[in-house]
Chain A
Amino acid sequence: MQHGDKTVQNNSKYNVEVTKDLTIPKLFYEKATEYGKGRVVMREKEFGIWRPITWHDYLENVKYLALGLVRLGLEEGDKVAMIGDNRPEGLWAEMAALCARGVGVWLFQDSLIEEVKYIIDHSDTKFIFGEGQEEVDKAISIFNECPRLEKIVWDDPKGLRNYNEDYLISLREVQELGRELDRQQPQLFKEMIDKGHGDEVALLFYTSGTTSLPKGALLSHNNMLTMGQHLMAVDPCKPTDDYVSYLPFAWIGEQMMSISCGLQVGYTINFPEAPETAQDNIREIGPHVMFAPPRMYEQMTRTVQVKYLDSTWIKRKCYEYSTKIGYHVADLKFQKKTIPWYWAFLGWLASITVQNKVKDHLGLSRVRNAYTGGAAMGPDHFRFFHALGVNLKQIYGQTEVAGISVVHRSGDIKFDTVGHPIPETEIKITEEGEILTRSPSVFLGYYKNPEADKETLKDGWLYSGDKGFIDDDGHLVVFDRTKDVFTLRDGKPFSPQYLETRMKFSPYVRDSWVIGDQREYVTAVICIDYAVAGKWADEKKINYTSYQELSQIPEVYNLVEAQIRQANKDLPEAARVEKFINLYKEFDADDDELTRTRKLRRSFVEKRYQEIVDALYSDDDNVHIDTTVKYEDGRQAHINIDLHIRKVKE
């Protein structure tokens, strides 16, 4: 089944003409000199106010930082790594590295030392920008094992007073060096920028491997810029828009919004005060555009569901009626039917009485386009946001195409698809059902991994490893990762991700893992949400002392079972979950159970929880677990617990 060119061309004009010669620093320099002191490029919340940073400040900071790096010995193609929370300094460091013709590498701020070491070593990083003491400690501990690493730069002095290592240097000192160099060679900065070419490597991006060690994808300036250009052609943003940057920069989606789109449109990027305050800070800003992985939307849904349950009777009733209306109107829109005037009126009534308020609480009041991508989102969550009147769209893409290749168009949204390709992007499905992509944004190849290159890049086509098909309306449907697709007992293929996302619609379920490939029936392992289920138990006066204990309480099992039965309803017989178990801990990226972007590493968990899997496919009612777990602070705990296996009643 060979599908032809399904590209939908958009007629809206591009913001910026992306030629092969254009680089990110060139665009940055052009915009910064154009806007100067008159426009705010970023804000950071500090001491209670949103401190503005103008394009002029941005340019000055980047300029001296870049020159400082050159002074310290940065040469063309040298890698500069960044680690830390989202903050202006992080973006300055990245931009400075690019301006000085280096290559940016981002690390997740919660990476463990081994992960940091692997990436720093593998990428041959020369300079590392850490935020404060925590990041500096990580970098120091691996310094001797990474021979190419020369300097560690920090910007938050808290706790660093007694650090005397000579390879430590503060961001300000680097900028001071840059200032000196600027006095000697005032033209150097501009010359460096002018030397760049669009096909040069801009970023080295480590993909969060669900199966193996991270692979470093090389992205060129041109990749990044064309991707941003094409997304902005589909959904144009305005220069006056606000965007909140709170997801890790090491995730391609955040790079795409902050760098690719941010530079082209010139909207304001807002940085929250701290990761813990991000949700409140988003509400204060009220962004016009947002892009987040499904777990963020799942969290919002959970918040609403829990708050609804705790509400008073009148408020609950109002919420229920307006949600019903919202779902009906959203479904009519999904089916592309005209909405009768009385439903339109009811919809308007629901939005002014309840939905606008809910959106206000979530910080979605001003959102024009909300995107979700990076993992599968359940249809229930998707409908939930459309019922609220949020224009939520699926994005399909990967690091290897600099972010995205397929997106929903406004007014043409189906909750089981990911939409049409963006301009100049072609999508093809192979005989085996694998999704292939070809566009100017397809990456240059993996760093130091020619075998992976051969597998992934063939004749300019990117082999994604995802299974999918194109439906009658030309929408791409992503089924699942090829290697994850199940074969059920009746021989039909099935996507475990789909089932898992449906279970997560219950506020009590935080994570789920569905098992059933080539087995007699389907089973699930559930991680309950400690906060929500704990609160529920408190109100029911059920005693518990820990996550383990709470997870094994029969009443909690009932809650989970109710959700599973709900999900089972719409499924074919063979795909229904027949047994499930509540796990004694949550899945955690530090235990390698999830990737840093919180995707389940199926083969790993299958090995790790072999006992549980075996028990689920035996006649036992219980499974005994005797193991040790390691906490984040290094403590170890012995776990000795009986996990209960529950059969789902029809």
Chain B
Amino acid sequence: MSTTWLPCGTYHQNYVHDHAWWQTKFIKAKMILLLIILFVIIPLVADSYGLSILNLVGYTILGAIGVQLLIGFCGQITLGHAAFIAVGAYTSTLLILEFPWPKILMDWGLAYPISILIAAIVSGAWSVLFGLPCARVKGFYLILTTMAAQFITVDFIITGYVSQIGGRGQAFSLPPGTIKIGPWVIDSDLKVYFVMLVLVIVCVIGVLNLIRSRVGRAWIAIRDNDISAEVMGINVIKYKLLAFYVAGFIGGVAGAFWISNLAAISPEHFPWFWSLWLVGVILIGGVGSIHGTIFGSVFMVVVMEMLQLAVIPLADIYPKLLVDFLFIKEAVFGLAICVFMIFEPNGLAYRWWQMKNYFNLWPFSY
């Protein structure tokens, strides 16, 4: 995180003010405006299609934060993050469908919120289990062990065993009305949107605060040089596993959130490609930046959506496009990453920072 540019006349007499999020009236006004846009204006103007896209953006952000934390802040490359999202989603679903909730909790609509929390904890624990190899291996080898997490969890355990619970076969259907928060049944895109906003804001704030704490500094030290971090007295294994735990925890929240948007879940929702996709999101957004995670998520979802809109009219001329859309999507994903790696290896977050600097330094260049 780069230091924020502050206008002349901004000074702090104590560390509480020095570390405050919103230090000037201008920033406060900007952030309040953003909140108004998110909570009032978008729900008023967006249609169901728009909201569903935004929900997808939110889901991508929740998934990518964990990846960002591991890769961008702790230097632990992961290619199996979809597994932990899946664990979260299945834990939450099973808790809602199978757990004998006391009536009072059901009446108060607390089953789903509690299940989100439990899903996050279970998912975190599961992530630590597959993070254990990081004590011994790093780099390429860690990529392979995290990929193993994907295949063991989703393809073997969830498909083979978890999906068989209750004898429903492959998919768990979530009957309307099962997902309830308090008195509200989450049954429309708008309601999902609000759940998403709250969860994204809570997770982003939580992670941002974590990063600037002792824990975050330890992670960054490990990322920059694990040996010197160890020399400085950081318990490297402990903090690496903590990073896996927090990443898994947020992945669990993402998974548990996503079931509110689905009518049924099946293992196909959490393919290995989704793990790869999340890594792509942070590469494009900017590694080592929470802003970047958000920018990358918005960018990827919007580009793919536009691609879809472009393909539909073209399909009239060349019908095979529609059939091959999945491959086109993957090709564009690959192309986008190539383009970013060549032209903006620091990601969208860096571009954003440059843009802000352009005006902050006005009328000079430094």
Contact = CB atoms under 8 A, between A and B. Distances in A.
Say whether A and B bind each other.
yes
Contacts of A49: 12-15, 18
Nearest to A364: B8
B363 A308 contact: yes
Given A285-B9, A365-B9, A307 B362 contact: no
Interface string A75-110: 000000000000000000000000000000000000
Given A49-B18, A286-B8, A361 B13 contact: no
A565 interface: no
Given A49-B14, A49-B15, A49-B18, A286 B9 contact: yes
Given A359-B8, A365-B8, A43 B362 contact: no
Contact of A365 (B7, B361, B362): B7
Contact of B18 (A48, A285, A307, A318): A48
Interface residues of B, number: 17
Contacts of A647: none
Interface string A347-360: 00000001001111
Contacts of A52: 13
A494 interface: no
A358 B11 CA distance: 19
A308 B14 CA distance: 35
Contacts of A363: 8
A284 interface: yes
A519 interface: no
Given A48-B18, A49-B18, A312 B365 contact: yes
A307 B12 contact: no
A354 B363 contact: yes
Given A318-B363, A319-B363, A284 B14 contact: no
A311 B363 contact: yes
A315 B357 CA distance: 13
B363 A357 contact: yes
B10 interface: yes
Interface in B125-156: none
A145 B15 CA distance: 47
B365 A310 contact: yes
B14 to A, nearest CB: 6
B7 A315 contact: no
B343 interface: no
A50 interface: yes
A624 B319 CA distance: 88
Interface string B61-77: 00000000000000000
Contacts, number: 65
B318 interface: no
Interface string A44-70: 000011111000000000000000000
B364 A50 contact: no
A459 to B, nearest CB: 48
Given A49-B13, A286-B8, A366-B8, A308 B18 contact: no
Nearest to B17: A49
Contacts of A50: 11-13
B26 interface: no
Contacts of A366: 8-9
B161 interface: no
Interface string A288-332: 000000000000000000011011100110110010000000000
A359 B362 CA distance: 11
A167 B303 CA distance: 76
A52 B15 CA distance: 12
A21 B13 CA distance: 37
Interface in B307-366: 361-366
A315 B365 contact: yes
A364 B7 CA distance: 11
B13 A284 contact: no
Interface string B18-44: 100000000000000000000000000
Contacts of B13: 40, 43, 49-52
B11 A285 contact: yes
Contacts of B366: 307, 310
Contacts of B362: 315, 318, 354, 357
A283 interface: yes
Contacts of A308: 363-364
Nearest to A317: B363
Interface in A446-489: none
Contacts of A51: 13
A59 to B, nearest CB: 19
Nearest to A285: B11
Contact of A284 (B11, B15, B363, B364): B11
Contacts of A285: 9, 11
Contacts of A311: 363-365
Interface string A110-151: 000000000000000000000000000000000000000000
A95 B355 CA distance: 50
Interface of B: 6-15, 18, 361-366
13 contacts: A49-B13, A50-B13, A52-B13, A286-B8, A307-B366, A308-B363, A311-B363, A312-B365, A318-B363, A319-B363, A359-B8, A361-B8, A363-B8
Given A50-B13, A363-B8, 16 more contacts: A40-B13, A48-B18, A50-B12, A51-B13, A283-B8, A284-B9, A286-B8, A307-B364, A308-B363, A310-B365, A315-B364, A318-B363, A357-B362, A360-B7, A360-B8, A364-B8
Q: 10 closest pairs, A vs B, by CB?
A: A286-B9, A307-B364, A365-B8, A286-B8, A319-B363, A315-B363, A360-B8, A284-B11, A52-B13, A311-B365
